[in-house]
């Protein structure tokens, strides 16, 4: 291990005691305390085929086709992918592109579904005794339902369950931290559906083979902690543990270390230390998929920010436009005149979006309308090397050193300082007195490195193809030369045979004449 890695691990050991992370104002109430509102089905739903990590789903329906609620619209492709289902009954009116929930404003392939108002389910396959199913059967049901991680990562849940079983994990960590400011959808789910979440956790234990589930909930959610402890009281394998309210407590590596005391190795995965992590909302979706056969077609979304007239949590069908969700939630104050930033997700790790005509996807935990005071944008000043970013980094990295290397395009040196361990949580940028956009530097560098890797792979592939082409041309030339030589040899052999035959034919009369003279 090089000096910088040794220093990084030493620094991490010092910081991960009590000082890592930040304590931003959580801005969770009054939204967290407002009762959940259920949004009616909109006239049209816009359903991107890429709502998860991995391969995009492949459409299985045609324009003009009528579908029932819960019916398959697009199938999974490859090992890491997830299918897409109809959030309501209606007619497929287009397979086109819609704006992605991303700052670029670029588009994604999508299916547009026009609701018929009936909201009729397709035939569902329920299971009265899911604990009689094998872990593989549970995984198949979860995969068929299109369940992905609802904490934001949107990784296909069945893949994680199956991987945990193969890795023989012993501990299931359930993330109820919800450390992002403004968001409270997981808080509300734990308050209102604790029994269902615990049931889903028990199904996950059965599917993974883990012996215990540790449910980590930040201590600024006392109502959720009480509800979950009551629901889990009769199940010894499900343990609800309050954790300190500190951002980014909801990051899996930080939560694992706080709950188990074990650190996930650099460049490693939780499964390497016998742990797997899932979100509380994912647990509830797993329960619905296994017990009721229901696919993932809706989710709870936090609508919040100073510009929102009535902050709260709304049950929303996947594919609903953000502008319609905001309108249902009471609209924006002053018709949005004070709006400074639109965000899908949380303010620290969510995506700034260019307009409100962006659909809610499976990983959309929040829709935030922030004013200028909340954004507090300012031009960055030069780094004063105060070290605040170092103290705040939950991974024990040196953000100031990494950013300096990135500005000079010394990406290899940035990697030596731990760039690949950065989780892009935003703590460093949050505490920086110079307002340097450190996270953007790190995301940019990772993108550049990924582009370089892709270019290298393309170069290697091109070189390989060129070599294969040259080998083919050489082989064809050899085969052509061998064929020509063979044909030449055949012609020469045929000519020699012909000459021999002609010689023999001409010699025969002379021999006969000689014999006659002798008589």
Average pLDDT, the chain: 87
Residue corresponding to tokens 């910088």? 4
Contacts 24+ apart (CB under 8 A), 443-446: 444/406, 445/402, 445/406, 445/411, 445/414, 445/419, 446/419, 446/420, 446/422
Of 438, 164, 432, 375, the C-alpha closest to 278 is 164
Sequence-ordered list of residues with C-beta below 8 angstroms from that of 438, at least 6 positions apart, any chain: 389, 399, 403, 428, 429, 432
| pLDDT score at 8 | 41
| pLDDT score at 91 | 97
Rounded Cα distance, 413 and 402, in Å = 8
How many other CB atoms are found less than 10 A from the CB of residue 469?
Answer: 10
Rounded Cα distance, 164 and 196, in Å = 22
Rounded Cα distance, 225 and 240, in Å = 7
Of 72, 74, 88, 93, the C-alpha closest to 39 is 88
Give the three-state DSSP class for 397: coil
| Element spanning 173, H or E | strand 171-176
Sequence-ordered list of residues with C-beta below 8 angstroms from that of 140, at least 6 positions apart, any chain: 158
Give the three-state DSSP class for 396: coil
Backbone phi, then psi, for 411, in 5-degree steps? -65, -35
Rounded Cα distance, 494 and 512, in Å = 27
- Under DSSP, the state recorded for 60 is -
| pLDDT score at 510 | 61
Sequence-ordered list of residues with C-beta below 8 angstroms from that of 422, at least 6 positions apart, any chain: 395, 397, 399, 402, 442, 446
| pLDDT score at 513 | 61
Q: How far is CA 255 from CA 175, 186, 366, 469, in A?
A: 8, 16, 21, 52
| pLDDT score at 434 | 81
Question: Do the beta carbons of residue 286 and residue 160 sit within 8 Å?
Answer: no
The hierarchical CATH code for the domain 380-500 is: 1.10.1060
DSSP one-letter string for 476-514: HHHHHHHHHHHHHHHHHHHHHHHHHHHHHHHHHHHHHHH
| pLDDT score at 6 | 36
| Element spanning 213, H or E | strand 212-218
Rounded Cα distance, 425 and 415, in Å = 17
| pLDDT score at 509 | 67
- In the predicted model, residues of the chain with pLDDT beneath 50 are 1-18, 519
**Which residues in 472-511 are b (16+ Cβ under 10 Å) and which e?**
eeeeeeeeeeeeeeeeeeeeeeeeeeeeeeeeeeeeeeee
Distance of CA 465 to the CA centre of its chain: 32
Question: Do the beta carbons of residue 299 and residue 154 sit within 8 Å?
Answer: no
Rounded Cα distance, 499 and 311, in Å = 105
């Amino acid at each position: 291990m090089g000096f910088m890695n040794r220093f990084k691990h030493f620094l991490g050991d010092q910081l991960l005691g009590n000082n890592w992370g930040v304590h931003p104002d959580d801005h969770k109430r009054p939204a967290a305390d407002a009762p959940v509102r259920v949004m009616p089905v909109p006239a049209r739903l816009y359903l991107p085929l890429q709502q998860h990590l991995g391969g995009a789903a492949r459409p299985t329906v045609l324009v003009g086709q009528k579908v029932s609620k819960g019916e398959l619209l697009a199938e999974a492709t490859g090992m890491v992918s997830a299918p897409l289902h109809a959030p309501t009954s209606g007619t497929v009116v287009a397979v086109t592109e819609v704006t992605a929930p991303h700052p670029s404003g670029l588009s994604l392939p999508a299916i547009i579904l026009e609701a018929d108002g009936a909201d009729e389910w397709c035939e569902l396959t329920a299971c009265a005794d899911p604990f009689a199913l094998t872990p593989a059967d549970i995984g198949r049901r979860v995969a068929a339902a299109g369940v992905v991680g609802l904490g934001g990562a949107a990784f296909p849940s069945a893949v994680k369950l199956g991987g945990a079983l193969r890795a023989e994990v012993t501990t299931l960590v359930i993330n109820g931290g919800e450390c992002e400011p403004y968001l409270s959808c997981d808080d509300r789910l734990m308050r209102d559906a604790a029994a269902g979440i615990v049931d889903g956790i028990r199904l996950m234990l059965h599917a993974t083979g883990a012996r215990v589930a540790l449910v980590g909930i930040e201590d600024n959610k006392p109502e959720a902690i009480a509800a979950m402890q009551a629901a889990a009281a009769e199940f010894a394998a499900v343990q609800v543990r309050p954790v300190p309210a500190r951002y980014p407590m909801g990051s899996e590596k930080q939560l694992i270390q706080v709950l188990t005391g074990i650190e996930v190795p650099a460049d490693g995965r939780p499964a390497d230390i016998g742990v797997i992590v899932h979100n509380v909302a994912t647990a509830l979706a797993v329960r619905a998929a296994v017990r009721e056969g229901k696919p993932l077609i809706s989710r709870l979304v936090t609508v919040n920010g100073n510009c929102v007239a009535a902050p709260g949590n709304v049950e929303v069908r996947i594919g609903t436009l953000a502008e319609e969700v905001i309108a249902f939630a009471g609209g924006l104050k002053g018709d949005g005149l004070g709006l400074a930033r639109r965000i899908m997700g949380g303010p620290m790790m969510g995506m700034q979006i260019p307009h409100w005509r962006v659909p809610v996807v499976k990983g959309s935990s929040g829709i935030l309308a922030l004013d200028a005071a909340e954004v507090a944008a300012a031009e960055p000043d030069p780094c004063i090397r105060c070290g605040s970013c170092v103290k705040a980094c939950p991974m024990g990295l040196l953000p100031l050193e990494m950013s300096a290397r990135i500005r000079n395009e010394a990406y290899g040196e940035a990697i030596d300082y731990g760039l690949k361990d950065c989780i892009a949580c935003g703590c460093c940028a949050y505490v920086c007195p110079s307002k340097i956009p450190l996270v953007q530097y790190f995301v940019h560098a990772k993108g550049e490195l990924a582009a370089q890797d892709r270019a290298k792979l393309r170069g290697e592939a091109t070189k390989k193809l060129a070599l294969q082409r040259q080998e083919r041309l050489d082989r064809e030339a050899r085969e052509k030369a061998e064929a020509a030589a063979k044909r030449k040899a055949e012609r020469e052999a045929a000519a020699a045979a012909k000459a021999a035959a002609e010689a023999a034919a001409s010699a025969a009369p002379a021999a006969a004449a000689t014999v006659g003279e002798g008589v």
